[in-house]
Amino acid sequence: MPLSGSPAVRRTGGSGNRLLAALPPADFDLLVPQLETVALDQDAVLSRVGNQIEHVFFPHSGAISLMVDMANGKTVATAAVGREGAVGILSVLGPSPSATTTIVRAAGTASRIPASRFHAAFNRSPAIRHAVQTHVRAMLIQFQLGAACNALHPVEARIARWLLHFRDRIDHDVLPLTQEALSEILGVRRTTVTLLIRNLRASGAIRSDRRGQIEIDRSRLAAAACECHGTMSLEVEETFSMNTAQSRVLVAPDAVGESGDAM
């Protein structure tokens, strides 16, 4: 059964995704024949919890949230993904149902590849395996700090953190987020979000909130957020910085010449 908001597809060329851009040309070429550019529509569901992961998405723009669905119908977001990462990449561990529901929160584009094809390239390429490791480290930082933040920090600081996460990924002060979406992301009632938005507007951290568009003042919002946003951003950036150089020296086996001199 098709997923709601399934993206339209066309063939792709280069990459604005950070993971793909870090791959050496020979390793990226292993993916190119199966990569497709897809439009990520606002509120599109890329995968549902319990369903098999069919594709791996590498966003070029926009923002995606990973959602946990509870038995009582409540939801909460565990991570945000933009052009720095990927969705569905853990399919390389073997066929398994998705543990989260992934929803597009800000429209954009992505490169998409069938999970089975990505798995095959993963097995052939040390650089692709390294990219997966980099992504997993970055996601673990979000999961671990996010769990601590949810347990220890007030919801006022957490909503500011999430708004900053999305600001980082779409690189714009106007965020295409409704109060209903924020309610799902935070795992709180819509009335709680209304009160939080009102308080942030009073402090100047939010300039306006109408028709699903929240305009923020980044510096004032950062002052309202907990330290988790800055810590996550710094640690993720350090993870990518340390690993990009190493990825550049890894060469796909097929790219090694007959002399075997490539390192």
CA-to-CA dists, residue 178 to 81, 149, 210, angstroms? 18, 22, 8
pLDDT band at 243 (very low <50, low <70, confident <90, very high): low
pLDDT tens column, 106-153: 999 999 999 999 999 999 999 999 999 999 999 999 999 999 999 999
Coil/strand/helix, residue 110: strand
Share of residues in the chain with pLDDT > 90 (%):
76
Average predicted confidence (pLDDT) for the chain: 88
Spatial separation of the C-alpha atoms in residues 178 and 256, rounded to whole Å: 51
To 5 degrees, how large is the angle CA 160–CA 213–CA 9? 105
pLDDT tens column, 175-224: 999 999 999 999 999 999 999 999 999 999 999 988 889 999 999 999 99
Residue-level pLDDT at 241: 76
pLDDT tens column, 14-37: 458 999 999 999 999 999 999 999
Q: Flag whether pLDDT at 263 surpasses 90.
A: no
CATH architecture of 1-125: Sandwich (2.60)
Indicate the DSSP class of residue 171. Answer: T
Spatial separation of the C-alpha atoms in residues 228 and 72, rounded to whole Å: 28
Q: Which of 37, 252, 60 is nearest to 170 (CA)?
A: 60
Beta-strand ranges (E) seen in the chain are 9-11, 36-40, 45-47, 55-59, 63-69, 75-81, 101-106, 108-114, 174-175, 206-210, 213-216
Q: Flag whether pLDDT at 237 surpasses 60.
A: yes
Strands 206-210 and 75-81: unpaired
Contact criterion met (CB below 8 Å) for 65 and 185:
yes
Coil/strand/helix, residue 81: strand
pLDDT tens column, 163-176: 999 999 999 999 99
Q: Flag whether pLDDT at 11 surpasses 60.
A: no
Residue-level pLDDT at 55: 96
**27, exposed or middle or buried, with CB in 10 Å at 0-12, 13-18, 19+?**
buried
Residue-level pLDDT at 7: 55
Residue-level pLDDT at 235: 83
Domain ranges of the chain: 1-125
Amino acid at 33: P
pLDDT tens column, 61-100: 999 999 999 999 999 999 999 999 999 998 998 877 899 9
